[in-house]
């Protein structure tokens, strides 16, 4: 047997579609040239020929025919008497091409070559995978959930490559089942024990940026630019945008007619509230916009220390701060300024409060409407009334009031 079928011998050869043929042939050639050097001390007079289509391998030995007794280098020369045994028509000065039977290397050497080749192909596949996803960092991909664990989710892409979505990169409200297709952004590629580990993220600002790019053609075309995104995943996000075309309203384009463009993104992000604002280099105006939905009345800026005192009407303070302080925290991140909120009529620091609308996921809408009917629109305004007074002034039952007060108190205890 003078050749060896690589496809049968090395199963990985079949599975290496991502590795280009010239690279694969070079690897095979290198492996067998190493084999030649071990047996003959040199590979200079040998040609390793790989047929990539059939998976065949041939090794051809080249030697110059010289007069008997004049062989100085057995690797490069062959005596005339030995050459004519192979082919009677040979003459001195001609080159002898002889095919080497791989079995001459011995079974142990062939087995070692197979193992080395399999290892090299495996390394190539890892490098190709690492490069493929290294070039796609920041891009959105879709993958299928293969296994759900406590700390992470294992996904498979369309080529069967394994991807990891850690718990820390999942939106708190995320819940996925095996076989489900999910979208995430490629965050980074780590190397663990020489194996590439592709980490995905759904909490990264890049994920929201790419979702906007998909939904808003003006962003994709470069007419609108996303200047900055800050997120509290699953809770709230603030996106500052700017238009390079005076005829385009960047906020309107991102939100869409009746919110058509933003609604799909909100659903993808598990009902995360998204505030889209116009970017401006006027820091006072930017702070004002970043505190949306609250409306401020005045402001004191300390540009040197990146600090601002913001004054609002009492009914706007809880909106500016937001539930668990999320709104003011994101506004601070977006503007780069530390923000302190004050009542505009007292000049005193506002006691932390929360708008009842922030509890819409825990308290039914009709209960919130009933509380607003009697003048209670924030958590503290409800807690300021006794249970008996709430029962007397509203149509709520005692059990409902007790549960309501418990939810509101727990939120302040967290703070």
Q: What is the pLDDT of residues 88-146, one digit of tens each?
A: 877 887 887 877 777 777 777 777 777 777 777 778 788 888 888 999 999 999 999 99
Number of domains making up the chain: 3
Q: Which two three-digit tokens encode residue 415?
A: 């703070």
Containing structural domain, residue 17: 4-132
Tell me whether residue 146 is exposed, middle or buried, using C-beta atoms within 10 angstroms of its C-beta: 0 to 12, 13 to 18, 19 or more: middle
Please tell me the pTM assigned to this model. 0.65
Whether 51 maps to a domain, the answer reads: yes
Whether 74 maps to a domain, the answer reads: yes
Query: Given pLDDT bands bounded at 50, 70 and 90, which one contains residue 18?
Result: low
Q: Which positions ≥6 away from 388 have C-beta within 8 Å?
A: none
pLDDT digits (tens, 9 = 90+) for 267-280: 999 999 999 999 99
DSSP for 305-336, please give it.
TTEEEEEE-HHHHHHHH-GGGHHHHHHHHHHT
**What's the mean per-residue pLDDT of the chain?**
84
Q: What angle do CA 86, 89, 93 make, to 5 degrees?
A: 90
Query: Which of 203, 221, 248 marks a domain boundary?
Result: 203
pLDDT of residue 209 exceeding 50: yes
Query: Which of 154, 187, 203 marks a domain boundary?
Result: 203
Judge whether 257 and 215 are in contact, CB under 8 Å: no
**172 and 55 together in one domain:** no
**163 and 73 together in one domain:** no
Tally of CB atoms within 10 A around 187: 21
pLDDT of residue 248 exceeding 70: yes
Question: Once rounded to an integer, what is the mean pLDDT over residues 72-93?
Answer: 79
Q: How far is residue 40's CA from residue 167's CA, in Å, rounded to a whole number?
A: 56
Tell me, rounded to whole angstroms, the distance of Cα 283 from its chain centroid: 32
Specify the higher pLDDT residue, 57 or 390.
Answer: 390
Q: How far is residue 335's CA from residue 330's CA, in Å, rounded to a whole number?
A: 9
Whether 217 maps to a domain, the answer reads: no
pLDDT of 200: 96
**69 and 123 together in one domain:** yes
């Amino acid at each position: 047997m003078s050749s060896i079928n690589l496809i049968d011998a090395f199963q990985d050869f079949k599975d290496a579609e991502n590795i280009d043929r010239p690279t694969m042939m070079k690897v095979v050639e290198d492996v067998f040239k190493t084999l030649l050097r071990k047996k003959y001390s040199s590979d200079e007079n040998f040609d390793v020929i790989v047929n990539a289509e059939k998976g065949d391998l041939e090794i051809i030995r080249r030697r110059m025919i010289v007069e008997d007794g004049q062989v100085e280098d057995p690797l490069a020369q062959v005596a005339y008497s030995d050459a004519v045994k192979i082919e009677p028509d040979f003459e001195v000065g001609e080159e002898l091409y002889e095919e080497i039977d791989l079995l001459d290397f011995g079974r142990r050497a062939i087995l070692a070559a197979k193992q080395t080749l399999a290892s090299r192909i495996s390394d190539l596949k890892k490098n190709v995978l690492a490069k493929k996803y290294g070039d796609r960092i920041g891009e959105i991909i879709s993958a299928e959930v293969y296994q759900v664990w406590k700390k992470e989710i294992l996904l498979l892409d369309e080529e069967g490559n394994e991807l990891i979505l850690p718990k820390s990169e999942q939106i708190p409200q995320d819940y996925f089942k095996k076989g489900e297709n999910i979208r995430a952004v490629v965050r980074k590629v780590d190397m663990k024990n020489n194996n590439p580990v592709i980490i995905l993220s759904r909490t990264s600002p890049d994920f929201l940026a790419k979702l906007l790019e998909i939904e808003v053609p003006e962003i994709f075309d470069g007419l609108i630019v996303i200047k900055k995104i800050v997120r509290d995943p699953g809770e709230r996000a603030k996106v500052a945008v700017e238009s390079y075309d005076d005829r385009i309203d960047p906020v309107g384009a991102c939100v869409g007619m009746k919110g058509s463009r933003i609604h799909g993104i909100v659903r993808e992000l598990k009902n995360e509230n998204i505030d889209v604002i116009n970017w401006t280099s006027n820091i006072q105006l930017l702070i004002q916009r970043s505190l949306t939905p609250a409306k401020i009345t005045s402001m004191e800026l300390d540009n040197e220390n990146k600090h601002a005192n913001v004054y609002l009407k009492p009914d706007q303070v809880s909106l500016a701060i937001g539930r668990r302080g999320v709104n003011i925290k994101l506004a601070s991140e977006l503007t780069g300024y530390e923000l302190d909120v004050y009542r505009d009529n007292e000049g005193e620091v506002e006691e932390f409060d929360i708008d009842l609308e922030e509890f819409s996921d825990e308290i039914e809408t009709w209960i919130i409407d009933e509380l607003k009917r009697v003048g209670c629109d924030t958590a503290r305004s409800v807690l300021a009334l006794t249970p008996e007074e709430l029962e007397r002034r509203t149509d709520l039952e005692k059990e409902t009031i007790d549960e309501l007060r418990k939810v509101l108190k727990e939120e302040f205890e967290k703070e």
